[in-house]
A and B are shown apart, each in its own frame.
Chain A
Amino acid sequence: MNDMKNVEDLLRKAPRPKVPSGLRERLEADVTLPRTATNAFNNNDWRPALKRWLPAFAFSVFFLGCVVAIAVQANLLVELRRENWQLQISANELEQSHQQQAESQKLADQTLEQLRKDNAELKRLQDEITQLQQEVRELADLRAQNQQLTASLKSAQAQAAAGGPPEEDPFKAQKDEAQSIQCVSNLKQVGLAARMWANDHGDVLPQDFVTMKNELNTPKILVCPADGSRTRARIWEEFSPANVSYELLAPGVSETEPPQTVLTRCPNHGHVGLIDGSVQRGMWKRAVQRNGRWVLE
């Protein structure tokens, strides 16, 4: 190992040969450095340089052309994008304006409809006002009539309090007429019942009202409506002489008696029932007594 190291050391210590004199000067004299770039351009022979640089120049021109084309296309693309953007904005604005117009139209329609409704409501209210005004006028008339009636009532009350004649009931005549008619009807039924009883009993009229109770059906018709002092019997079991207003003037007579013979009489109205079944209103004042019988003249 040491031998190898010694060999390497000795090789590294190899002496240098002596350099001949003048070698450096000759070498310096032979120096021919290449021309610089400036000198090359000053030289008239430019074709080798052009030939050397032509590929690079051509590639540079091609590359520059590509760059210019890309730049132009990029510029066009940017312009188109800007125009597209502006068109999109315009389209959006147009859409918005359409929507606003539709909303405005809808709002106008709604407003018009509301105005129509309001107009109809106004017209209805005006009608109501007119009706109310008319009612107010009628109310005023009614108030005036009420005041007039109130004043009349007060004067009547004052007159009654002072002992004057009572005021006549305005419905009394109609009421009396109705009672009179009802009374006539009662007398007719009684006469009919008497004739029916006579047909079954030898043409002889009954002695009293109870005798012909089967033909009268009810004792209610034996009380005159105008007779306030008597009460009506609802059934024959409750019947008594106190429940009769009419007078039986020809008890037990034959039907063959003169037809002007009075059978029944209403002492309140003066109506008379004849034995032939007819009723004469208020004719009692013309009745006269003959042979123990009351007859009409």
Chain B
Amino acid sequence: MLGDSERLCEGAQAGDMAAASQLIALHYEKIFCYFRRLSGSDEDGEDLTQKTFLKVWSSINSFQGRSSFSTWIHGIAHNVYVDWRRKRSVTEFQSADWWEGCIAEGPSPFEDTTEREMARQLYACVEQLDEESKQAVHLHYYQGLSLKETAEVLNIATSTLKYRLREALEFLRSQTAESKFRTK
């Protein structure tokens, strides 16, 4: 059974511009957020998002529905990010201040200030993870992909992904516990 994105993709494959516009409307925010969290600037996020959609349109006919459209476009985005990162040799991390501002701008999902502070520290710690673990956390938790979809995007086995995520969570839990201890 085909979802909305898959039907729109079929329309885009047939040359339907309206379907392409609807695909953009459905996915461009998530893709931009993915790049923005990783790249560290809005300009890079926009640029990578544009590159991603250009690749989407050039290879739209290669989409055969073996996975969901969201998984497919995240795979393209991941490859675009890897290329970009290889060329740029990016080493700087997303700063905790950016996460603070990001949290302050939108409607807060946190219950109290303590949780918000803890979230801020947690997100900053994510930036300290190794690249593979960071990609897994971003795709699974931030982008909301399932374990299977994340594994497909990263082109790894689901068991490998679970291992990486467990390792990442252990690291984050230990980091946040240290922060809590220092704060007290």
Residues of A within 8 A of B (CB): 3-4, 7-8, 10-20, 23-24, 26-28, 30-36, 39
Contact = CB atoms under 8 A, between A and B. Distances in A.
Interface string B118-141: 110011001000000000010001
Given A4-B173, A10-B115, A17-B37, A35 B15 contact: yes
Contacts of B109: 13, 15
Contacts of B16: 33
A7 B45 contact: no
B24 A36 contact: no
23 contacts: A4-B169, A4-B173, A7-B169, A10-B122, A14-B142, A15-B102, A16-B102, A17-B37, A17-B42, A18-B105, A18-B106, A19-B29, A19-B32, A20-B32, A20-B42, A20-B46, A23-B49, A27-B50, A31-B17, A31-B21, A32-B54, A34-B15, A34-B58
Contacts of B115: 10
A247 to B, nearest CB: 172
Contacts of B76: none
B53 interface: yes
A27 B46 CA distance: 9
Given A15-B103, A17-B37, A34-B61, A27 B24 contact: yes
Contact of A32 (B46, B58, B122): B58
A105 B1 CA distance: 84
Given A4-B173, A19-B29, 4 more contacts: A4-B170, A15-B105, A31-B24, A34-B57
Given A11-B122, A26-B50, A33 B20 contact: yes
Interface in B19-43: 20-21, 24-25, 28-29, 32-33, 36-37, 42
Contacts of B57: 30-34
